[in-house]
Amino acid sequence: MIHRVSHRKFSRDTNARKALLKNLANDLILRERVRTTEAKAKAIRPFVEKLITKSKDNTIASRRLLISKLGRENSVQKLLELVGPTFKDRPGGYTRIIKLVPRTGDKAEMAMIEFSENVSEKAAMLKLAKKPKVKEAKTTKGKTETKTAKVKLIKAGKLAKNQTKTKAKKTNTKAAK
């Protein structure tokens, strides 16, 4: 049992160790589970749990802190938008470590670290709950049109105009050559 030792070295210097933790944390956040050695899983757990606790409040300060710790914008965005709201009511214990069979080459103890709740399912349920209702526009001569349909028609008209302009420019440049 390791007493009064705050971290593990993994036979690496400081920069390599920080890069290892950062990359494992990014992979865990983006893929929601990572298969690694048991020692690395135990080392990454407190690092990720602190990040998830910080991601519960979606503020600019917490976003900047997470970017400084993780270095990837897409994993920070997933933390703030999906993972943080999923564990909003939970005081801790966001991850779990599942022991696996030893690796065949060197018999290293392997483990899988994953979130204790399924983040992607909860995110899908939140999106369904927050789905906005489509409002109907004014009726004209007995016909009702939705606002989204009008917007699509307007955008389609703009796209058609832009495409004809680009075709005209291409023909003008070919004629000039």
Tell which residue, 61, 112, 50, 38, has the closest CA to residue 83: 50
Tell which residue, 12, 65, 3, 80, has the closest CA to residue 40: 12
CATH fold group of domain 14-129: 50s Ribosomal Protein L17; Chain: A, (3.90.1030)
Amino acid at 121: E
What's the confidence (pLDDT) of residue 164? 56
What's the confidence (pLDDT) of residue 155? 55
140 DSSP 8-state letter = B
What's the confidence (pLDDT) of residue 137? 56
What's the confidence (pLDDT) of residue 4? 85
Residue located via tokens 């018999």: 107
Hey, where are the domains in the chain?
A: 14-129, 134-177
Q: What is the mean pLDDT of each run of 10 residues along the chain (177 residues)?
A: 84 96 97 96 96 95 97 95 93 96 97 93 77 59 55 56 57 58
**Number of Cβ atoms within 10 Å of the Cβ of 72:** 16
What's the confidence (pLDDT) of residue 157? 58
Amino acid at 12: R
What's the confidence (pLDDT) of residue 48? 97
Q: Are 33 and 23 in contact (CB under 8 A)?
A: no
pTM for the full predicted model: 0.69
